[in-house]
Each structure stands twice: as structure tokens, then as C-alpha cells.
Structure 1
Amino acid sequence: MNRNVKRIGVTLLTAIVGGAVAIGAYKILEPNSMSGMSLDQRQKVYFANNPSQITSSTGAIDFTQAAAAVSPGVVHVRTTYSRSMASNGGVSDPFGDMFQDFFGKRQRSAPSQNMPAPMGKGSGVIVTSDGYIMTNNHVVEDAEKIEVILSDKRVLNAKVIGRDKNTDLALIKINATDLPVVKLGNSDNVKVGEWVLAVGYPLTLESTVTAGIVSAKSRQIGILAPEIDRNNYDPNNPPTNSSIESYIQTDAVINKGNSGGALVNANGELIGINSAIASQTGTYEGYGFAIPVNLAKKVMDDFLKYGEVKRGYIGVTFQELNFDNAEQLGTKEIEGLYVNSTVEGGAAAIAGIKKGDIIKKLNDHEITSSASLQEKIGTMRPGDKVTLTVLRDGKMKNFDLTLKGDAGMKLANNGKEVTEVANSLGATFSPLNDAAKKKYGVSNGVLVTSTAPGKVFDMYEIPRGTVITSINGKGVNNNDQVMSALKQNDQMIDLRGVTPDGSTFRVTFPIK
């Protein structure tokens, strides 16, 4: 009996010692083993050793567990800017005056040398225990100094690991260990109507938690598109739009200073980075917008692995179908993306997708808007394989594509990329039906179905509903002819047409 007891004791002691050695070895090796890991892998290691005890609290509408778990991992980001930048009008703000207060931009009046340097404020989300923090690009852009104030009141300097204007995301790093981490969720699983919390540092307050619901998904609000300065427009270098906007919309209260903070679900999982509000006053009026965390994860992993964002492209131009343009495009479908053209040598063209196809699904995910497609493609890289489901001749067909990089989106036009020229116009077109031709008194033309803020059509005040009859002296009837006509002249673009009120017009502007 005593021998058995002794044997059991020895076995138990051996197991305890072995476990302690294993844990000790892991702790010694942990810093080095993290270097090649993605954010998801880093988080799995962290939460394997710090398991979450949160259970969904939506039934009782009690968010205490989620708030307590998330708040320590959301930080205050404080930025300092040079006086010279302020005296020159401040750092450029691509989001416009409507969003200045929310984004925490410093005042643009020139300070005297006796005044303190201009400062800004925002929020950030700790995603690894060794100090990687997600925030917004506009929170840290052009800052000379970035400080992070932790929930325990420590103030640490931060450095920028990477910034991406196209998604308004940034990754910054502080030198610290054993930090509280906010668990990454899955924004694909977010449902309209579910409860969410917004956590950040609004106004002049300390850490603040507000609650609301998801009001909508895949929202485009047009704040990331590059604007054209009418006084300093450079026709040799027109701005192009590679931005990705597919926001989660929420009615949780967010204000200036919340930018870069956390939008989390009832389980305390990060589902978005709070980024903007729709407001005429600069303060909360009911609508907030967050970048989906799946998109943010991909951008952050690119910063960690490549030092820059690697973006894949399908290689198509398209427009959203709706009740108004379906008949003009010759289809009864009012949902999906109508393919206007494919880029020669691009992923779509190689796979066999053609003009007139209607994109319905990407990897079995329904695509109902350009934002939803951009979001999904935005989480992928060149070389990734995807399956597009399109409607062609009344039948669904699947096409397997291998995404291309930037080079796969280029079409040469005497040294100028015609796709860049087309994108700089900032307009979508549809063919004219017979009734429209009769109404405008023209025999050919394309109808302007939309215009993008800050692009050439907007700059020259060519509105939606205008008919373009010729480009560079060549008559146009569809998108293929538009692209062909843009190739006719590598120095100028000449547009002629009829305005919605029936007046004829001509606009000519130079390109390189």
C-alpha cells in the first residue's frame, strides 16, 4: 500500500515538475517565437494562456463583462505637430471640415512661438501584449510625436509601423510587455440589429463606453476618396481612388476622440475600428461608422510581414444595379454589379468574365454593393484565388480567378494608363435607350449615372443625368467605346454632350 502511494506521489511530482519546465521554457522562448506570427496567431497564444470568461450578455442587456474586459485594452492616443505645419494651414485633412472635430485635428490658426505646439487626440486598440496598437491613419498622420496613455495612466512614446490612407488604418507600437489585449472577432459574422459597444476617449473625457446596435453594414460615405483642389489641380497627375469604404454603421454614441477606438460585440470581441460620424456639427447626431476588423487585420498583418499593404485586384469596372439603371443596361436584374469592362491581362479577363456579366457572389458570399465586394477583396492579396459567380444569359456561372497586383490593373496608352484616366473622371456610364435619345435629341451617347466627389466630373460640375455624346471627337454609345475614345489623345480630353436641362456643352482639359 505504502509502495503504491509512494509511486503515485512520484508520478504526480514528475508531472508537476515537467509542466513547470514546459511553461518556463515557453516563457523564455515566447518573445522570439512571436516575431513571425500574424495577429491571429499572436492572439491565439495570448488567449490560450488568458482564456476569456465572457459570455454573451444580450439576453439580459448587461454589458458589464464586455466593458470590463475591453476597456483596459483601449488607449488614448495623443499627437503633437510642428508649429510650421500649423502656420501653413495645418496638416491636410482629406475628410473635410464636417469631420474635423470628430477626428481630433488641431486648430488651423497659426500659433505664436510662445504658444504650445498644436496637438490632436484619438484612441487606439491594443491587439498584442507586446504593444502593437490599431488606430486610424488620420489620428497619427503627419504627427511629430505620438504618445499613448494606458488605462493605468502610464504615458509611453509610440512609433508608426505602417499607415494606409486607402483604408484609414494605422499600426503603431509602444515598448511594453504584459499589456491587456482586446480579442479580435469576425466582422463577417456581424448582424444588423445586434448589440455593440463603442469604447474610446471622446471629448475631454477619460475612457468611455457607450452602447447601441449595428444599424447597417457595407456603408460607403465617400470620405476617403481623394478630393480635387480646384485652385491647384495638376492635370499631369490627377488623383485616383483606390480607397476601400465598407463601414459598419452603428448608433452607439461616438464623438471626437473616439476615432481609432474599439467597436466590440456583446462577447467583448473587436469587430471594428471607429472612424467617422455623419454630422453637420462635428458631434454625435446618430450615425457612427467603423472599419470592419477583418479588413483591419489584413492591413495590420501586411504591415508586420511586408512593411506595406499588398492589395489584390479583380480587374473589372462595374456599377451597382438598381431599379433606375437596370432597363438602360438591358437587364431585369436590380441587384448585383454590372460589369462595364475588364482590364486586359487582368484576373477577370484571363478567367473569361465579360462585359455585361452581373457579379452575384464572391466565394459564395452574396455581393449586393460595390462596398461589399471591395471589403472582401480588400482582405486578400495578389496571388490569392477566388471564385466569382456571375449571371450570364440568365444562368449562373462560376469563374476561378487569381488576383493580380497593381501591375495587373494597368493598360498602356502611349505611356499613360488609360484606367487611371478613366478613374480620374470619377463617373459611371450606361447606354442610352431609344426614349432617352429622343428626349435629348441625340442619335448616340452614354448617360452619366453617378459622379464621385472630388473627381474631374465633379470639379467641372458635370452632374448625374448628363449625356456624353463624344469623347475626343469620337461618338460613344457604351463603356467599351468610352475606354477606346480615351485612348485617342494622350494630351487632352474633349467631352461634348447635353446637360439634364437640354443645353449642349463642351469641356476640354489636358492630361499628360
Structure 2
Amino acid sequence: MWRMLWLAGVSLVMVLMQVLTAQARPESLAPLADKVSPAVVNITTTTVIEGRTGPQGIVPEGSPFEDFFREFQDRNGGDNGNRPQRSSALGSGFVISEDGYIVTNNHVIADADEIEIEFFPGDGQPRKLLPAKVIGTDPNTDIALLKVEAPAPLKFVTFGDSDTARVGDWVVAMGNPLGQGFSLSAGIVSARNRELSGSYDDYIQTDAAINRGNSGGPLFNMDGNVVGVNTAILSPNGGSIGIGFSMASNVVSKVVEQLKEFGETRRGWLGVRIQDVDTDVAEAMGLDTAKGALITDVPEGPSKEAGLLAGDVILSFDGTEVADTRSLVRTVGNTEVGKTVRVVVYREGKTETLKVTLGRREDAERQSGDSDDDGADPDVTEKELLGLSIGVLTDKMRNELNLSADIDGLIILSVNEASEAWEKGLRGGDVITEAGQQKVASISALEARISEAEEAGRKSLLLLVRRNGEPRFVALNLQ
């Protein structure tokens, strides 16, 4: 009796699972396609290329055959080779408002002289083409915002929450692959939080087929909301092999809001140089775990005014825990310019909270000016320490290495290739400006820092090293 009840229960569970599976994966994506396709557009760009002044590219300039080929060109088209040429390119996009705002990739419309939008025609409907103007672009995320003037309200789609997209969720890509016209492909979310090359990258990886021409098109979830903008593929031959990347909608939506309001992005700027905290650096500084963002330099800007120092580890920014440099850059960039935020740092064995009023990153990048620590010019000495042959900087060395006069410290003359210092990338010509988070301008000062670290029971010493003016921290073992 109990066995029969148990079997009946198992059967019921299996039936329920099949029902739920059927609900999770519809038999057809046609209803979804019908819903979202009117908002997906093809984009054609035209660029005028200046004509050639001669038979360049056919024969070298000055070649005895140059006159022959010029005469050949004249006979077969007169001066067509000197006339401006029109080059066309294709891409995709999607409408986000009934009044005609359209999102695409920046690389789709970059340098275009004319942009034409083709709307989804539907069954038996004629093609509808409209010219578009550029509202704003953001090369950092490869996003562009366009605008068309339509005679009637347009069908549009909305952004979804890309943070809720899970690996394994079904997604649909729409666009204009290889110029074939409107096309749909389906797949799953293969991975999340992929980083390609940018500071603000947050890509969704998908195996939904993405090819050339799909760039700028939408990646939909099963609710018909845009969770990504199809941007790039990984392929040895230029075609889809099931590794495509879509910029997450939570990044895109913030960029679009700023482009729509200002015509450009306005990202928060903290004004520090940073690096990740690895286990050696954490141990050298007395941190329990390797997390946060280690400040390597504080040029003139918001952080210097607020009292942040090189050697501080940023643990929290505006109430958000900082895991690494990437998370800090994205969080700061998404914060309002001019906002005063609380920054929690680890300094000399304890935490401190400072208030920083953020600047604007784009302004800082245009002005871009750094300042280095001041110091004195000590006597020249040399010594072997920590696998390094070290000397004190002189004016002659500064001239030979093209170093700024305000950089002071110890010059690395050579590195033992069997040492940890070599493995961690230290090389001759690097300049050590700090050891144990204190300035060093003499060999004796460095030796004192080593002794202090050993007496404190530390296994490693933290060095601030500059190469071509760029600072970074390196932790070297003392044992």
C-alpha cells in the first residue's frame, strides 16, 4: 500500500517537473518575436572617402609604370579615381521610446556622414526608411544614441535588469547579420561579467548566433526586455562559433540616460591610481584578506583634497564594499558627479573614513596632470638587498633615465634573475620611492624599513616602485 502511494507521489512530481520545464522553455519563440521585432532596426551608414590623386596602391609612387597606369585609369573612367568615394556599412539597433530614440554600438556609426534606419516591415508591408542623427556616443562602452523623426509614435522595447540574468537562462538576439535583413537567433546565457578591454566592461556571454551586422542589436530575455546590446564575437574566422558578447543593459541604460540628457557621459572621478591587493601585499600590510583597491598615487584632485594617501587601501566606497580595482572603477563611474561620498580606507593598521566630493572623469582625462613626491639628492651608495642591486639616484642618473627632477628614491641597478623580485617584474631602471609605506632616499633608510618589518613579524615588505613615471606596489618576501 505504502509502496503504491510512494510510486504515485513520484509520478506526480515527475509530471509537475515536466509541466514546469515546458513553462520555462516555450515550444515556440514566435510570440516573443512578434512582440519585439517592430522595435528592432537595421542601420546603414554611408561615409565619403576622399578620392585618390594618382594610381596609389597599384604601383609605387615614382615608378616608371606610374604614367602607364594613370593613362589606363583615364581611359577606363576618366578621373573617377580622383573623385570622392562612398562607402557603406551595416549594423543593427533598437528603438527605446515612441518619439524615436534608438540605441546601437558606437562602432556601427563612428565617422559616418549619413545614417539611415530601416524599420521592421512586417508581413506584406513596404520598407520604411528614416534618416537619423547622432545624439551622443560613449566609446568606453561602445554605445551610441540616435534619434529619428517619425510621422507617428514608434513601437519600442524597454531595458530589463541584466543583474537578474543567470547562466543557463534563455535569450534571443535580433539584428541584421551579414546584411541578410531581420533575423532572430536563440541561445542561453553562457557566462556573466565578462571583461574584454574597457574599464566599464560588463558583458553577457551567449551562444545565440551573433555575426557581423548584428552589432548594436538587442539581446532579449524571455519577457521581451533588453538585457544586453550585442557588441562582439570571439571567432578565428569572423563568423559565429557560439561565443558572443553583449554589453549588460544595466551599464547601457545609465549611459543612454546621460547621452539623452547631456549628449555625453558624465562619470564620477575619484582621482587616484590603484592596483589590486594580492595575498603578498595583504600580508605585508597586515590585512586579513586580499581585497580592496590599493592606492599607488594621489595626483591633484578630489582624493588629494580629501586627504587620501598613497598606500591606503580603499575597502568601501559610498556604502559599497570594494572587491577589487575593477569594481571600484565601475562604482565610481556610476556615481553622480559632484556627490560627496564616504570612503573607508585601511591605513597603518586601522580603518579611517574620509569624505570625498567627486569630480568628473571626462574633465580629468582632458586635463590629465600628475604630481610625484618631492625629495632630496643624497650621496651615491650601492648595495645588494632583496635580490636587487640598489643605488641612490643622482642628477646624472635622472638625465640618463629621463626622470623628472622631483622624483627621489633608490634606483634599481640590476635584478638577480633567480630572485622573487625578477619574477614580480622588477627591472633595472625602476625607482623605489617608498618602503613599508615610508619614503626612502638612502640605503640606510631602506635597511631600516626591512628591520622594522622583520621586528614586527612581517614576512614581506611593501615597495612603491616607479617605472617611466608610473607607480605600482610590489611586496617582496623577507625570508
Deviation of residue 317 (structure 1)? 1.6
Residue in structure 2 matching 1:159, options 125, 133, 156: 133
Aligned pair partner of 2:258 in 278, 288, 302: 302
* Structure 1 residues 112-127: aligned runs within 5 Å: 117-127=86-96
1:64 Cα deviation from its structure 2 partner: 4.4
* C-alpha distance in structure 2 between counterparts of 1:332 and 1:399, whole Å: 22
Is the aligned partner of 1:147 residue 2:116?
yes
What TM-score does the superposition give when structure 2 sets the normalisation length? 0.62
**Pair 1:61 & 2:13 matched:** no
Q: Is the Cα–Cα contact under 8 Å of residues 170 and 186 in structure 2 kept in the other structure?
A: yes
In structure 2, C-alpha distance between the alignment counterparts of 1:332 and 1:215, rounded to whole Å: 34
Cα displacement (A) at 1:494? 6.0
Matches within 5 A, 1:446-485: 465-468=424-427, 470=429, 475-477=432-434
Distance 1:372 1:71, change over 3 A: farther
Match of residue 189 from structure 2: 214
Q: CA RMSD in A?
A: 4.1
CA contact (8 A) 1:57 1:266 kept: no
State how 1:1-16 maps to structure 2 within 5 Å.
none
> Structure 2 CA distance, aligned partners of 1:184 and 1:370?
27
* 1:494-509 alignment runs, 5 A limit: none
Partner of 1:417: 369
Structure 2 residue aligned with 1:71, among 31, 34, 37? 37
Equivalences for 1:377-396 in 2 at 5 Å? 377-391=332-346
For 1:246, which of 188, 198, 202 is the aligned residue?
Answer: 202
AA of the residue aligned to 2:139: K
* Structure 1 residues 193 and 320: alpha-carbon distance in aligned structure 2, compared to 1, 3 A threshold: farther
3-state DSSP class of the match of 1:467? coil
CA contact (8 A) 1:411 1:418 kept: no
Q: 1:84 is matched with which residue?
A: 50
- Corresponding residue SS for 2:208: coil
- How far apart in 1 are the matches of 2:343 and 2:295? 12
Is 1:274 aligned with 2:218? no
Question: 5 Å matches for 1:328-347?
Answer: 331-346=287-302
- Equivalent position of 1:53 in the other structure: none
1:334/1:440 CA distance change after superposition, 3 Å: same
- 1: CA distance, partners of 2:362 / 2:312: 24
Q: Is the Cα contact below 8 Å between 1:72 and 1:180 reproduced in 2?
A: yes
- Aligned match of 1:170: 144
| Pairing of 1:310-459 with structure 2 (within 5 A) | 310-323=266-279, 326-327=282-283, 331-346=287-302, 348-391=303-346, 399-406=354-361, 409=364, 417-418=369-370, 438-442=386-390
Match for 1:259 among 190, 208, 215?
215
Please give the per-residue CA displacement for 1:19-59, whole angstroms capped at 9, x wherever unaligned: xxxxxxxxxxxxxxxxxxxxxxxxxxxxxxxxxxxxx9995
For residues 398 and 216 of structure 1, the distance between their equivalents in structure 2, rounded to whole angstroms, comes to 36
CA distances 1:151-190 after superposition (whole Å, capped 9, x unpaired)? 0231111111112222211111111132111112223444
Q: Deviations over 1:419-442 (max 9, x none)?
A: 7x99xxxxxxxxxxxxx9534545
Q: Alignment partner of 1:285: what SS?
A: coil
Aligned-pair identity in percent equals: 34
CA shift in 2, pair 1:297/1:70, >3 Å: same
Quote the residue 1:184 is aligned against: 159
Contact 2:285 2:349 in 1 (8 A): no
CA spacing shift, 1:303–1:495, aligned 2, 3 Å: closer
3-state SS of the aligned residue for 1:211? strand
Distance 2:31 2:436 in 1: 54
Count, aligned residues:
356
Gaps of 5+ in 1: 1-55, 90-110, 225-242, 423-435, 447-462, 485-492, 497-512
SS of residue paired to 1:182: coil
8 Å Cα contact 1:340-1:479 kept in structure 2 = no
> What code does the residue aligned with 2:328 have?
L
- Of the two structures, which has the highest relative contact order with CA contacts closer than 8 Å and spacing of 6 or more? 1
- How far, CA to CA, are the matches of 1:287 and 1:202 in structure 2? 15
Distance 1:494 1:369 in 2: 25
From the superposition, tell whether residues 409 and 174 of structure 1 become closer, same or farther in structure 2 (CA, over 3 Å).
Answer: closer
What TM-score, normalized by structure 1, do the two folds share?
0.59
SS state at 2:252 partner:
helix
In our comparison, the structure showing a higher alpha carbon Rg is 2
Distance 1:326 1:392 in 2: 12
Show CA shifts across 1:120-157 (max 9, x none): 11111111111110111110011111111100231111
1:119 partner amino acid = S
Cα separation, 2, equivalents of 1:410 and 1:162: 18
User: Compared with structure 1, are the counterparts of its residues 337 and 69 closer, same or farther at alpha carbon in structure 2 (3 Å cutoff)?
Assistant: farther
CA pair 329-80 structure 1, distance change in 2 beyond 3 A: farther
Letter in 2 for 1:60: A
- Determine which of 82, 96, 104 is the counterpart of 1:135: 104
Cα-to-partner distance string for 1:93-121 (whole Å, 9 max, x where unaligned): xxxxxxxxxxxxxxxxxx95799732111
Provide the secondary structure at the position in 2 that maps to 1:82: strand
